[in-house]
């Protein structure tokens, strides 16, 4: 059975807007995304103008009416994220990506509820975005780490996933889809939400999960795999924070443990019990993924 999910339905033809497009980062990443193949059709700003490169409007509703945009990326500060994403959902945008780290927890809780009430998908907070290599990206995932292939890369950690993606690409192993769910404790898309869509996603032959100490997402994902009776595709996991000392503040919004949940030992145990291969290092993860390549005759099925 095919399980649909809005993130998997986006394509190079999907009209995407940038909220805050006239800011330094907004303009830069709008240019980078368009150069990569994303259909950036315009954006919003408190200072709309007659821009030669991108149409700029004063509101998301005006932008949607002019462009039929279905997705938005909000290049806004954390305290402005709730208002920006809410405006997008109320204007009919179905997928909203928010990159800011440090969105207040109360705002994130409200935003998650607002997204659900509008039948939309909120990817964030604190996410580098998503991509389908050689097709489009929404966010700032590094081009050098993007390569088309058969490994779905889903991650809480941005920088660690960049390194994993780059090393996979260097070996000729690419991604069928790359989704950064973000590292904050309260977010719009969690690992477990992506399990069924990934298992029914034909370009995906294996799943690589990049987690970290703290939070309960990895345990939730493991429970979801077990509830299905196991996974029909190989799943590999790498967890950041193996050397973190208990009781020491990590500083990361989502790196919080609750009793026996969220600890490194808990995550490794529960992922392993679900049949997921947990690597102890990046090198170990890449080696395990390389074994899949060897089993497929020496090439990444969708990458070569």
Pairing of strands 175-180, 129-132: antiparallel
The CA R_g of the chain, rounded to the nearest whole Å, is 19
Active-site residue among 29, 118, 201, 252? Answer: 252
Three-class HEC string of the chain = CCCCCHHHHCCCCCEEEEECCCCHHHHHHHHHHHHHCCEEEEEECCCCCCCCCCCEECCHHHHHHHHCCCEEEECCCHHHHHHHHHHHHHCCCCEEEECCCCCCHHHHHHHHHHHHHCCCEEECCCCCEEEECCCEEEECCCHHHCCEEEEEEEECCHHHHHHHHHHHHHCCCCEEEEEECCCCCCCCCCHHHHHHHHHCCCCCCEEEEEEECCCCHHHHHHHHHHHCCCCCCCEEEEEECCCCCCCCCCCCCCCCCECCECCHHHHHHHHHHCCCEEECCHHHHHHHHHHHHHHCCCCCCCCC
252 included as an active-site residue: yes
Whether the Cβ atoms of residue 106 and residue 117 lie closer than 8 Å to each other: no
| Side-by-side strand order, sheet with 56-57 | 56-57, 39-44, 15-19, 71-74, 95-98, 121-123
Residues annotated as catalytic (active site), given as ranges? 252
């Amino acid at each position: 059975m095919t399980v649909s999910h809005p993130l998997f339905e986006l394509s190079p033809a999907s009209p995407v807007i940038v909220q805050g497009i006239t800011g330094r980062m907004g303009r830069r990443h709008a240019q980078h995304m368009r150069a990569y193949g994303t259909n950036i059709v315009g954006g919003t700003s408190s200072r709309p103008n007659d821009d030669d490169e991108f149409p700029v409007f004063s509101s998301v509703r005006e932008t949607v009416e002019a462009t039929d945009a279905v997705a938005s990326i909000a290049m806004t500060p954390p305290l402005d994220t709730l208002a920006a994403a809410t405006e997008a959902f109320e204007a009919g945008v179905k997928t909203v990506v928010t990159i800011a780290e440090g969105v207040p927890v109360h705002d994130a809780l409200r935003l998650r509820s607002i997204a659900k009430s509008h039948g939309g998908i909120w990817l964030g907070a604190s996410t580098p975005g998503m991509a389908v290599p050689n097709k489009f990206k929404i966010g700032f995932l590094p081009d050098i780490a993007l390569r088309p292939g058969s490994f779905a890369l889903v991650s809480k950690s941005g920088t660690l996933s960049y390194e994993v993606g780059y090393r996979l690409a260097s070996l000729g192993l690419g991604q069928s889809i790359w989704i950064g769910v973000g590292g904050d404790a309260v977010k719009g898309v969690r690992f477990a939400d992506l399990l069924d869509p990934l298992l029914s996603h034909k370009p995906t032959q294996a799943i690589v999960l990049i987690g970290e100490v703290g939070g309960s997402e990895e345990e939730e994902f493991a429970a979801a795999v077990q509830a299905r009776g196991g996974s029909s595709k190989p799943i590999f996991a790498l967890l950041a924070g193996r050397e973190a000392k208990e009781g020491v503040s990590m500083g990361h919004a989502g790196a919080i443990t609750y009793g026996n949940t969220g600890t490194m030992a808990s995550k490794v145990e529960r992922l392993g019990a679900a049949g997921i291969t947990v690597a102890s290092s990046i090198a170990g993860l890449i080696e395990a993924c390389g074994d899949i390549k060897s089993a497929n005759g020496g090439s990444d099925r969708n990458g070569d």
